[in-house]
Amino acid sequence: MLEIERKFLVSSDAFKKEAFKTSFIAQGFLNSNKSRTVRIRITDDKGFLTIKGQSSDSGLSRFEWEREIPKGEAKALLELCEPGHIEKTRYYLNADPHVFEVDEFYGKNEGLIVAEVELSSEDETFQKPEWLGEEVTGDAKYYNSMLSKHPYSEW
């Protein structure tokens, strides 16, 4: 139940041509405390409840527990979330043996595009696509829980 990922800004929209799948995501936070977050997410036709622990000092890893819940329950729980819901399109791209997830944000986070890659260890190497920009792993302002409180448009 340990999530290890690196996060990057995206330097161009060239990634869109490489996507093998896209999903629309709406999410909110029941708790956005930095030591633990409780997220409600609707991805296409599925609902999810996710609990994340505090990030490691490097920002590369943290505890993550996620379960699928009925979409109707997720919609009801979104109504209880803290202000500042997030909406985004997620693009999935193969970078063998990894999959990059690229999030294009809407609303108050319009203009922000962030890529993440999950790894099996903190020192695992991976191929960096040309459209990958500056690394922002561990920079809390790019966490979705922070973007819900302090959106990109207000920076």
3-state secondary structure of 75: helix
Per-residue confidence band for 40, with pLDDT thresholds at 50, 70 and 90: very high
Quick check: 26 and 41 in contact, CB under 8 A?
Answer: yes
3-state secondary structure of 119: coil
| pTM of the predicted protein model | 0.94
Q: In the chain, what are the domains?
A: 2-154 (2.40.320.10)
Amino acid at 33: N
3-state secondary structure of 127: coil
Query: 96-135 pLDDT, tens per residue?
Result: 899 999 999 999 999 999 999 999 999 999 999 999 999 9
Query: 55-94 pLDDT, tens per residue?
Result: 998 889 999 999 999 999 999 999 999 999 999 999 999 9
